[in-house]
Structure formats: C-alpha cells, structure tokens
Amino acid sequence: MEFKEAKNKFVQTWGALGSQWGINKTMAQIHALLMVSNEPVSMEDIMEELQISRGNASMNLRGLMDWGIVYKEFKAGERKEFFTAEKDLDELAVKISRERSKREIKPTLKILKEVSTIEAKDSAEEKHFVDQTSKLYDFVLKADNMLDKMTEFNDNWLGKLFIKMMK
C-alpha cells in the first residue's frame, strides 16, 4: 500500500469512528488529517484533501479548537491560517474525556438528579422509577468522578511518572 492510499484510508476510517463517538464525520476526518501531518496544514489544503467547502472546513476547525485538540498556527510571511492537532495521545485522551464529560455526562447527571428526586406517591411504579433513576444517578456520578480523577491524575507530575513506569 502506498503512503497516499494509507493516509486516505486512515482519514476515512477515523472519520467513520468519529461518528460513533458523537462527532460528525468531517470533523473527525479533519482531526485525523491534522494528527498525522508532520507540518501545520492550511485550510485550503484541508479543503482540497477532503473535498469539502470552506464553510464546512471552517465550522469543523472551530469545533475542534473548542474541544482544545486543534490549534491555529501562524507562519511568518504567510497570510493563510495553518492548523495542527494535539500530538500527545495522553493529552488528547484527557482533553476529549473532559469535553465529553462537560457536554454529555454533566447534563445527564443534572437530569437524573432532577427526575430521581421527585416525590414518589403511593404507586409501585413511581417508587420503582425513583429507585432506578437514583441508582443510575449514583452509578453515573461515580463513573464521572472516576473519569475526573483519572484526568487529574494525568495532570499530576507523579501521576505522569507512574503512567510512564506502567508502559
């Protein structure tokens, strides 16, 4: 397999995975392209490589920058904007975990808390509902707290040393 074919296959596969992780295919493809590029890439090159419009590229680059996993870079003497992705995979995992918690888990916890604290009247159905949603709230809260601890652990120099020793 030639380099160009391998690169295209990786970008397409990463794009398909992205949609399973809750982001759109184009956003994941842009991220993949930037992640495997050894130099910052211009928006025009991204548009050409992925055959997408300027608006599509711009909107998805903004989304990736909001997630904190893509950065804008400036090159002296160039008027174009260039972009690069987070290359440290540990840091990438931490940023994605934090962002997904903020966007998905925290809002879900808020709703679970709200619905699990209703006053259960006399019906068995209401009591069962409160019991189950309370258990679900507790479980999701524990999982979110564990995720928070793991990302904090990765920020800690001792935690990083421990992780390096485990590899």
**pLDDT tens-digit profile of 60-90?**
999 999 999 999 998 888 889 999 999 988 8
Residue type, 90: D
- Tell me, what's the pLDDT at 162? 57
Shared domain check, 111 and 80: no
C-alpha to C-alpha distance for 20 and 119, rounded to whole angstroms: 37
**pLDDT tens-digit profile of 2-38?**
988 999 999 999 888 887 777 789 999 999 999 999 9
Query: How big is the CA angle at 56 (ends 70 and 105), to the nearest 5 degrees?
Result: 55
Lowest mean pLDDT among 25-29, 126-130, 150-154, 161-165: 161-165
- The range of the structural domain enclosing residue 70 comes to 3-85
Query: How big is the CA angle at 156 (ends 18 and 145), to the nearest 5 degrees?
Result: 60
Shared domain check, 134 and 114: yes
Count: domains in the chain: 2
Quote the pTM value.
0.75
- Tell me, what's the pLDDT at 164? 62
